[in-house]
Structure 1
Amino acid sequence: MSTSAQPVPHPPAKDPADAAGSRRARFAGRAGLAMIGIALAVMLGVAFLGPSAAVPELGGGDPPWSLRAGPSDTPVILSCWAAVIAGGLGVGAGLYALRRGWRPARGILPAGTVVAVLVLTLVPPAGSTDVLNYAVYGRIAALGHDPYVMTPAWLHNMGDPVGEFAPLAWRRAPSVYGPLATWAQTAGSWLGGGTMAGTVLALKIMIGLAFLLSALMLDRLAGPDRGRRVRVHLLWSLNPLMLWHVVLGGHIDGLGVFFLVAAFLALRRGGAVAGLSAGVLLGAAAAVKAPFVLAGAGLAWAARRPAATFPAMAAGVSAILAAAYVTQGPAAFGNVVGKIGSRSLADPWRVITDPLGLGAQSSVLEGRLALGAALLIGLLLCRRLPPGPSGLDSVRPALAWCLCWLLTSPVQHPWYDAMLFPLLALMPAGRLDGLLIARGIVTTLIYLPGASGLLQPTALTGWILEIYRPWVAPLAADLIIVCVIALSLAGALGFRPASPRDFSPRSSGLQHQDAERR
């Protein structure tokens, strides 16, 4: 008896729109990684050329070694600007592709992170002289003096091999860093063998290791979802803005991030022990730099249940901060509080205060503007930010209160964003991504080249000093503040939920099934 032939199943036809979208996602992802790689290569090249407008003098003979080629100001400045802009655009392109289903090959981002951190750690710092200040304060403490009272000028005037290279801008300023930062700086001085180059290298190795451990913990907090893990690497581990400031620049903020991320990881378990551990770690972060305590708002919100968690966390924070500052004396606390009345080049309110002739110090008007805007933005973000990641209730309010301060404070620097990007990396994709990457680029450019206070007069340096710093950058920062407020009021900080079509298995073979949950 014959049987009728069964029809041969045909695979569903590919939608041309899906295929085109998949190609765009792949192109954007690959272009993003290429721009990140180029940015990091340029940063490495600027540092390896040796002392310049972007790279401070450390003394010869000891690592970190460089070519000591003596490049002129203009190519160094242009290279730094190009690297920062390309790096920020690369992160943005990667995030765009990630939302549309692109995933890089497994292992390429962690491997790239390790290589980038290693090479950027072993070359001289670039873009800032802050790590030299750390070395000087550590040397003062290692010699048995108080860095919160003794100024670097004393060490410089006595001809000390570390003090000889003390940056001029901070030569008459005692330390404003927390006690834990001072202990790290002292350890760096002991390990560095009494030279500026050796101390800087020791500090950079310490901070580079903290950066890598933070990346590892963030990867764990992201969970098994591959899209969330790629997002963490794009916004933190391989973010050229963070690698420039934290690893290459050697800013002590990287050590604070390590303790902060560890606090979020500890609190996931819940209970009194977890609360106490998270509190101790949060206190340690604040003992590196005081603003890290702002993230405690998120941790406190997450610690409200079970009932024993919050008291334990509060006890941990109080105990570690009290113990840390008691060991240093009242000058340590007074110096930190004294920063409240100051302002920085990245002050977003200078477009108002400068024309009024209110001077270099933060005014009462500026303080009121900053406080009012911070409270408004903080409350809006607490209500309007998209839901945070499952099991990490602490991240959303922590991001809200850290961001409102970072956007509005008269005292801010681009490396302060090291507190912000780990929190942003754990949140779902949203419009804050592009705004904060743009802000990171704008504020970073203000401080470039970073190692020379006196630049050769050229058309480029004149534009930076007379137009970009006092007008373009503050106006851009104010525009970002307005955008954050407007998007919050409109409820548009998050992207629309992904439709099933966006992550269809037939979208040109991309692995959409592990796309980021929103």
Structure 2
Amino acid sequence: MSVRLPVTTWSASVAGFVGVAVLVLATSGFPGPSVVLLTVGLTGMGVVVLAWLGLGRRAAEIPVRGLYWIAVAWCLPLLFARPLFSGDVRSYLAQGVIAAQGLDPYRLGPMAALGASSPVAQEVSHYWQDTPAPYGPVWIAISRAIARIAGQDLLLTLLLNRLVELAGVTLIAWALPRLARRMGVSPGIAVWLGLLNPLVLWHVVAGAHNDGLMVGLVLAGMEIALGGLSGPSRLVSGFVLLTVAANIKIVAGAAVCCLGAALARRWGRTAGRGALVMLGVFVGFVVLSVVISAVTSLGWGWLGTLGASAQVHSWLAPTNQLGFLVGGLGALAGADITSAAISVTVRVGAVLGAIAGAGMVWAIFRGRWNPLTGLGLVFAVMLATGPVVQPWYLLWAIVPLAASLRSDRARRPLVVISAVSAMLLPPISGGAAVLVAGYLGAAVLLAMIWLGGCRGKSGSRTFSSDGRHRSSSTKQHAVSDID
């Protein structure tokens, strides 16, 4: 069996692999000036983003199997990287150790539970050293199991967390093309935009964030459930996966609501009957969550810590940005009102988000949106009106929308947001001067690489199952749309 790829696709896939490898090397701890290492790391990231954009021009033509192999090649070097872009895996370790010692991670933060002398607690960011775990019992149970295997070894913990997140990536890879076909979207474009997205590479594989597993379970649950609307077994299986996802991070409960709206439309007919169906879905969700809490023996303490992450003002959250703006205007008048302004804007955002989210669930019930598009838009509203936004949170909306948006015009904002957000966080920390110099240096190098790449010639190569390739003079041309 062979997979035929155009030379431009082959070149982009190799360039992406090289870019990932350069990023891993630049962040591996080699001695050198910070500005040089930062420039090299950012250049590697930029090469991956450019390669990803280049693949997007032909994504509808590339076999899904070929995209899978590209994903494997791009992910492989990141398995050996240091924790990148975030130290959350250190918090996962601390929470797992706390639970493994029989303590309550929903009541005690790392410092209180493990003590100031604990090397595990010291590794946690100072923002979160006194913060209880904000994650559901499924995730804490996973962290507890990892802690029992790895002890307090951060390296082994990182590897095991990456393996868990790779399970989430595998679920994404399995569900995306199936959901895309169900929604009338090109599977190749869905896999390119959702699976090969640089945000998945940086923050799910390299950063080992639990959002990867959550999103994978959401997509798999939606695919299984939507395929089983006419039968109970698949529907129940999909519903269970969605509930498990929500017991990792509560935001996945949005998927339960969207599925409930789809069921209400199919079975409810009228608004009253639809409300009864939604009530049944909610009761089922609560019952299953009670079972999960009992099985994991972690209880319901996590519901009291859900707002823990909002204690730190998120500079990417629009509600926080508005609060900072009001606070800045107040500072000009000599008033220190930033914290109060953010508190107000966050509360206003919560109200607006609840109204908009409810409206979108209603739109699914009325048939104006399919449940997958509705889910992506509900997540987008959460990000626009919520108190905390991180680059990896964007995947909540991007991945389901990758499988449901049918036109290039509708997908274009997702592509732009992904490309820009992929370059927001530097892989190496430094002062303002180092960051400015690193980004400028990387911009110059990327411009040179881009100009050099524009001079390449087209052609094709055939890749066979034994890993060898054969050159061909056959030229293939991109298709502008999939619809």
Q: Does the alignment reach a TM-score above 0.5? A: yes
Question: Equivalent of 1:206, from 164, 181, 185?
Answer: 164
SS for the counterpart of 1:176 is coil
Deviation at 1:261, TM superposition (A): 1.3
Give me the whole-angstrom Cα distance separating, in 2, the residues matched to 1:339 and 1:122: 28
Deviation at 1:335, TM superposition (A): 0.5
SS for the counterpart of 2:318 is coil
Task: Look up the match of 2:205.
Answer: 247
Task: Look up the match of 2:431.
Answer: 456
Task: Look up the match of 2:322.
Answer: 352
Q: Would you say 1:372 and 2:342 are equivalent positions?
A: no
Task: Look up the match of 2:286.
Answer: 318
Task: Look up the match of 1:480.
Answer: none
Deviations 1:25-60 (A, max 9, x none): x99x8657755653553344333455xxxxxxxxxx
Question: Equivalent of 2:94, from 136, 141, 156?
Answer: 136
Deviation at 1:87, TM superposition (A): 3.9
Task: Look up the match of 1:113.
Answer: 71
CA contact (8 A) 2:137 2:299 kept: no
TM-score by length of 1: 0.70
Q: Following superposition of structure 1 onto structure 2, how do residues 182-221 of structure 1 map, counting pairs within 5 Å?
A: 182-221=140-179
Q: Following superposition of structure 1 onto structure 2, how do residues 66-215 of structure 1 map, counting pairs within 5 Å?
A: 68-98=29-59, 103-104=61-62, 107-154=65-112, 157=115, 159-160=117-118, 162-215=120-173
Deviations 1:111-139 (A, max 9, x none): 12223333322332211111111111111
SS for the counterpart of 2:326 is coil
Task: Look up the match of 1:334.
Answer: 304
Change (3 A) 1:190 1:251: same
Change (3 A) 1:233 1:168: same
Deviation at 1:368, TM superposition (A): 1.6
SS for the counterpart of 2:127 is helix
CA RMSD of aligned residues (A): 3.8
Task: Look up the match of 2:249.
Answer: 289
| Amino acid of the structure 1 residue aligned with 2:165 | I
Give me the whole-angstrom Cα distance separating, in 2, the residues matched to 1:316 and 1:46: 45
Task: Look up the match of 2:467.
Answer: none
> Which is worse superposed, 314-323 or 152-161?
152-161
Give me the whole-angstrom Cα distance separating, in 1, the residues matched to 2:129 and 2:234: 42
Larger Rg: 1
Deviations 1:396-443 (A, max 9, x none): 211221112123323111111222222112111343422123333444
Give me the whole-angstrom Cα distance separating, in 1, the residues matched to 2:10 and 2:318: 31
Change (3 A) 1:325 1:440: farther
Unaligned runs of 5+ in 1: 1-25, 51-65, 465-507
Give me the whole-angstrom Cα distance separating, in 1, the residues matched to 2:43 and 2:351: 34
Number of corresponding residues = 420
Deviation at 1:342, TM superposition (A): 5.7
Task: Look up the match of 1:409.
Answer: 386
Instruction: Give the structure, 1 or 2, with the largest relative contact order (CA under 8 Å, sep 6 or more).
Output: 2
CA contact (8 A) 1:210 1:254 kept: yes
Deviation at 1:248, TM superposition (A): 0.8
Deviations 1:200-223 (A, max 9, x none): 111111111221232122233334
Change (3 A) 1:241 1:79: farther
Give me the whole-angstrom Cα distance separating, in 1, the residues matched to 2:476 and 2:25: 42
Unaligned runs of 5+ in 2: 269-275, 328-336, 440-474
Task: Look up the match of 1:435.
Answer: 413
Deviations 1:284-313 (A, max 9, x none): 111111111122332122222245976664
CA contact (8 A) 2:198 2:418 kept: no
Task: Look up the match of 2:402.
Answer: 425
Deviations 1:228-277 (A, max 9, x none): 22112211222122111111110011111122112112211113433332
CA contact (8 A) 1:414 1:443 kept: yes
Q: Would you say 1:273 and 2:233 are equivalent positions?
A: yes
Change (3 A) 1:75 1:371: farther
Give me the whole-angstrom Cα distance separating, in 2, the residues matched to 1:285 and 1:382: 22
CA contact (8 A) 1:44 1:123 kept: no
> Which is worse superposed, 211-220 or 279-288?
211-220
Identity %: 22
SS for the counterpart of 1:148 is coil
> Which is worse superposed, 68-77 or 295-304?
68-77
Give me the whole-angstrom Cα distance separating, in 2, the residues matched to 1:462 and 1:382: 49
TM-score by length of 2: 0.74
| Amino acid of the structure 1 residue aligned with 2:34 | D
| Amino acid of the structure 1 residue aligned with 2:142 | A
Give me the whole-angstrom Cα distance separating, in 1, the residues matched to 2:111 and 2:388: 24
CA contact (8 A) 2:23 2:40 kept: yes
